[in-house]
Amino acid sequence: MSPEPLVQIRTLNFAYDNRPVLSGINMTIPRGKVVAIMGLSGCGKTTTLRLIGGQLRPTSGEVRVAGQAVHELDNDGLYALRRRMGMLFQFGALFTDMSVYDNVAFQMREHTDLPEELIHDLVLMKLHAVGLRGAHRLMPAELSGGMARRVALARAIALDPMLIMYDEPFAGLDPISLSIVGELIRRLNDALGISSIVVTHDVQESLKIVDYVYFMAAGKVVAEGTADDIRHSREPFVHQFIWGEPDGPVNFHYPSRPYGEELMEQPVKPKRWWS
């Protein structure tokens, strides 16, 4: 009998007031796997992460993490569940007035009663795992973009979570740093036996490390499968996205009337603020 998935999302719908964002989302995140959520900006990827973390509540449907319905938890239950999650924010989001050491130690000091001597050893261990033990005295302003992302990753694994969520972990990185971070995500996932959800636009690097992919468009899952399934997908949107083609379902031009019609119109007179 296969173990219960760590995260289960069923017929999930979400709207901001009357503006629908997610519609009928179904996803399964197995234990011990790396799963990517891909799609264009504004399709609902980050909103999905917020629903998993309990920052938002679904309009209908459910999100279950480790068997618990996230939206049904009270504040204490949600607090306890979040202690078992790690989050790597886009661009790292380190505390700028804290050293690398104190950034990683923050969660340990905030959520545990561990003595400072043990916290010291754990912080150095987490930084060693991302190759930055020697940088523990530096401030965030002294780090490169890739180093800052790796420190943020060390902070995300500080409390040995069962789930780590990555929001655009490759954004703004040079090719070498991007490859290093991608390899770390895969290696730490396997070494710690955790599950990882990676929201990303970086197709080629992600397909090297993930076990499964969900493709979203306009708040819906339009395709899913393994990395090979996605590479060879005949779904027009997925094919265009994977290979970066200019022609396809995603148009370059914003919807408008025929160009010739607009050229024949009288120009719009500028509005003067003093009139």
The correct CATH number of 7-264 out of 2.30.40.10, 3.10.620.30, 3.40.50.300, 3.40.50.12500 is: 3.40.50.300
pTM, 2 dp: 0.82
Q: Among 34, 37, 32, which residue's Cα sits nearest to residue 2?
A: 32
| pLDDT-flagged residues of the chain (< 50) | 1
Q: Which amino acid is at 125?
A: M
pLDDT of residue 1: 41
User: Mean pLDDT in the chain?
Assistant: 85
Strand partners, 220: 217
- Can you tell me the distance from the alpha carbon of 203 to that of 243, in angstroms, rounded to the nearest whole number? 9
pLDDT of residue 251: 62
pLDDT of residue 102: 94
H-helix or E-strand spanning residue 90: none
Sequence ranges of the domains in the chain: 7-264
Q: Return the structure tokens found at 141.
A: 């302003």
To which residue do tokens 């995500």 refer? Answer: 185
pLDDT of residue 13: 93
Using a 10 angstrom Cβ sphere, with 0-12 exposed, 13-18 middle and 19 or more buried, the burial of residue 262 is exposed
Q: What's the Cα-to-Cα distance from 269 to each of 4, 265, 273, rounded to whole Å?
A: 64, 12, 13
pLDDT of residue 254: 63
